[in-house]
Amino acid sequence: MKSAFSIIIILFLDFALYAQKENYTYTIIHKDDTIGQLKAVKETQGQSVQYLTKTNIETRILTKIEVSYAFDVKFDGQHLEQSDVQIYFNGKERTNTKTLKSTSGYKFYDSGELEKNIKHSVSYCGVQLIFEEPTGIDRVYSEETGGFHALRKIGNHIYAKENEKGRESTYLYKNGILHSAKIDAGIIEFELRLQQS
């Protein structure tokens, strides 16, 4: 009996050590046209969580527009450890930012240069809007800009996020994950729709 119990415990611990993955794919729509795709991965291993998103957009508004976003965000427990963001617009780097945890909060770097120190704790980031409904959250850390965006609930499982420039995006959740969103990214406005598998 003891050996059977020991085997169950060992199997459970063995399973717990392996990373658990969540994968989501979103279609990007602009004026009823599909213009790209967002792929999102959340990988959990113990207290460590890594969020990866890659977005590619290609459209034409007066001129050809190609935008690619890559986010790599790591949490340890309930708090941000670090984030890396790269955004390219028509093949040229537009954003290259990094947030690193420090003894007094965080350091935010833009293109390798220290831009500011952040003294507030970060427990919810923009990338998490895809994976975790922001219940009870009123501000979201922007890995791209190093600022905090206001967030408010505007309906059942619907939230509005306003950035530093007053641009507003809305997010709709089903079963705790993002189902669709209307995003004002500045460069372009678009809609995200979860692809059903």
Q: What would the two tokens of residue 87 be?
A: 């955004």
pLDDT at 9: 47
CB 83 within 8 A of CB 76: no
Q: What would the two tokens of residue 124 be?
A: 């919810």
Sign of the dihedral defined by the CA atoms of residues 154, 146, 166, 53, in that order: negative
The DSSP secondary structure of 8-75, one letter per residue, reads: HHHHHHHHHHS-EEEEEEEEEEETTEEEEEEEEEEEEETTEEEEEEEEEEEEEESEEEEEEEEEEEEE
pLDDT in tens, 77-95: 999 999 999 999 999 999 9
With a cut of 90, say whether residue 118 has pLDDT above it.
yes
pLDDT in tens, 163-183: 999 999 999 999 999 999 999
**In which band, very low, low, confident or very high, does the pLDDT at 186 lie, cut at 50, 70 and 90?**
confident
